[in-house]
Amino acid sequence: MPIINSTNTDLLKEFYDKDIFQIPELRATTQDIRPLKIGIVNLMPNKKETEIHLMKALSNTPLQIELDLIRTKSRKSKYTDMEYLTKNYKTLDEIKNNKYDGLIITGAPVEHLEFEEIDYWDELKELFEFARTHVYSSLFICWASQAALYYYYGVQKRNLGSKLSGVFEYELAEDSKLTRGLDDNFFYPQSRNTENEEAELRKVPDLKILARSDEAGVCISSSVDERFVFISGHGEYDTDTLYNEYIRDLNKGINPSIPRNYFKNDDPSNRILVRWKSSASLIFSNWINYFVYQQTPYQIEKIEQKVVAKFGGSSLSDSAQFAKTKDIILSDKNRTHIVVSAPGKRHDEDIKVTDLLESCYELKIKQLEIEKQRKKAIGQVYERFKEISENLKLPSHVFSLISKTVEDIEDSIHRDFIISRGEYLNAQVLAAHLGYRFIDASELIFFDEAGLVDEAKTYLEIQKKLNKEEFVVIPGFYGKDFNGNIKTFERGGSDITGSIIARGMSADLYENWTDVDGVMTDDPRINENAVTISEMSYEQLLEVSRNGAKVYHPDAVNPVATASIPLRICNTNKPSNLGTLIQKTKHNK
């Protein structure tokens, strides 16, 4: 529990620097406390034994915990009678409208099967989605950690060839409140036939490896925002659990290996060496305290999902569209990270701001004797943003910024800088209109010497700068090259920016707002009977895009598809329409 600190700010900073858990005196005197709502999805055959293991692990803190035991409806238990399950367990249908401070999903003896071959895989996917939107922090144990890593990040499991059984020594790999208080090296039980390779986990920008060993691989990893925790072992095991599993396998004629580092001198006739319980107790307590209790909102219904929303040029073409966009953003408090394009056409005869800026560049770089036209194009850019800002009654500093940016455009001969100023100014104007913070894409998106996105640096900076920020507006279309200059994507690149931000933020949903109702069965301008496709897969969207449909940039699909982030294409002018939902696998209707 925390130490109460008075207004001594020097001491408060020293507490923070030394990782001492403390809260200010004012918060301590006004703090609301309620029982934590924890769900346990029990996938183990012997459900009663697993219940006891986990309840013992969770009961070692002074915090009150209200438990819901949850089971899969699509899988009949062979070892626990239905009367007991009906009386003590709930199904997803019964809890789908609940919010939970924490959720634990246990392992299951199904490692020999591919994930899609498991008869309750569809139901488990629904539980994983439920964890995104209805749970503050989720803890996945053993096989469930592998299933979750596969579902959320596409990380494949690897067969070990023989069972990894025993108690193994691990080293801390990165600082985390989850492992606070652990020694640099600690022991943890393992009982599994498959693993997630460390090299594959390190390829995922949103994952942190917290504990690992050369002998037994990764023990603990988490998402960067620490709302997902993946533990490959069984800290909740009793003293004799590994022994009972060993005897069970012997009786089955499996001829199992002796659990390593478990019996004294690795001899089953000797006593069991219990050396994991203090570490396991601390890890469970830290999860409950730091990742759940100290982070979850007091009003549990306020647990939210993260939504990155991108608004295209047609959505921000004039002040009226800005007003619609503001209403859409503020109608859902989950829309905290906004990506924008430059102003698009206001009518068929109009010119997009990016086209005007492209004209500015071409006229200047070719040194044509048409300075009047170039000035006219620059003037149109200035008047466009000035008109929007005046109609929105924005403060004077916005007009100063517009004037300064137009001067920079006049002085520059760098194409990418010039044509990127539409997104830059639109993001500044929308940020001022919303009262949000502006963060420049050049601080988040980085290109390497080959002109490709430097994913490692980009996702690291997104996590560093955005995971602790709420309510920000980010310009799309550009980033920074390896020399520190502005570099743009190809046209339509704001879609790519939005997808990259969504993946870097580990968003639960990526919304792309534009001027169409979603992906249509045909071009509605040609075929009046064209209708919106309600759901499709990433692969189907790519096929449509490659066949010439201009609804979404093909290169923008990969970031969200890789991270299994659902993408919804919506119409700013018809915000009540559901549009088209694109995700890993199209649901059957």
What's the CA angle centered on 467, arms 35 and 34, to 5 degrees?
10
Cβ atoms of 439 and 353 closer than 8 Å: no
- Backbone dihedral region of 176: left (phi > 0), alpha (psi from -120 to 50 degrees) or beta? beta
Q: Which long-range contacts (CB under 8 A, 24 or more apart) does 544-551 make?
A: 544/519, 549/519, 550/492, 551/514, 551/516, 551/518, 551/519, 551/520
Establish whether 142 is a catalytic residue: yes
The answer to whether 421 is a known ligand-binding residue is no
Burial track 261-278 (b if 16+ CB lie within 10 A, e otherwise):
bbbeeeeeeeeeeeebbe
Closest C-alpha to 477, from 361, 343, 322: 343
Cα separation, 278 vs 181, whole angstroms: 10
How far is 365 from 226, CA to CA, in rounded Å?
49
Quick one: DSSP state of residue 446?
Answer: B
Residue bearing tokens 């789908």: 96
Helix ranges (DSSP H) in 412-493: 415-434, 455-466
Check whether 191 is labelled as a binding-site residue: yes
Catalytic member of 142, 219, 360, 570: 142
Copy the structure tokens of residue 120: 């309750």
Instruction: Return the amino acid letter for 57.
Output: A
d(CA 573, CA 214): 56
- Burial (0-12, 13-18, 19+ Cβ within 10 Å), 490: exposed
Q: What is the largest CA-CA distance in the chain?
A: 95
Residue of 53, 234, 433, 553 marked catalytic: 234
Q: Give the 3-state secondary structure of residue 298.
A: coil
158 is in an annotated binding site: no
What is the DSSP code string of 17-57? Answer: HTT--EEEHHHHHH-----EEEEEE--SSSHHHHHHHHHHH
CA dist 409 and 417 (Å) reads 8
| Cα separation, 171 vs 410, whole angstroms | 57
Both tokens assigned to 547: 């066949």
397 is catalytic: no
Of 111, 123, 200, 236, the active-site residue reads 236
516: number of Cβ within 10 Å: 22
Q: How far apart are CA 209 and CA 202, in angstroms?
A: 8
Distances (CA, A) of 454 to 141, 206, 482: 33, 15, 9
Looking up tokens 């478990």, which residue turns up? Answer: 262
Give residue 58's identity as a one-letter amino acid code.
Answer: L
**Is residue 236 flagged as an active site residue?**
yes
- Binding-site residue ranges: 163, 191, 248
Residues in the annotated binding site for substrate = 163, 191, 248
Residues labelled catalytic: 142, 234, 236
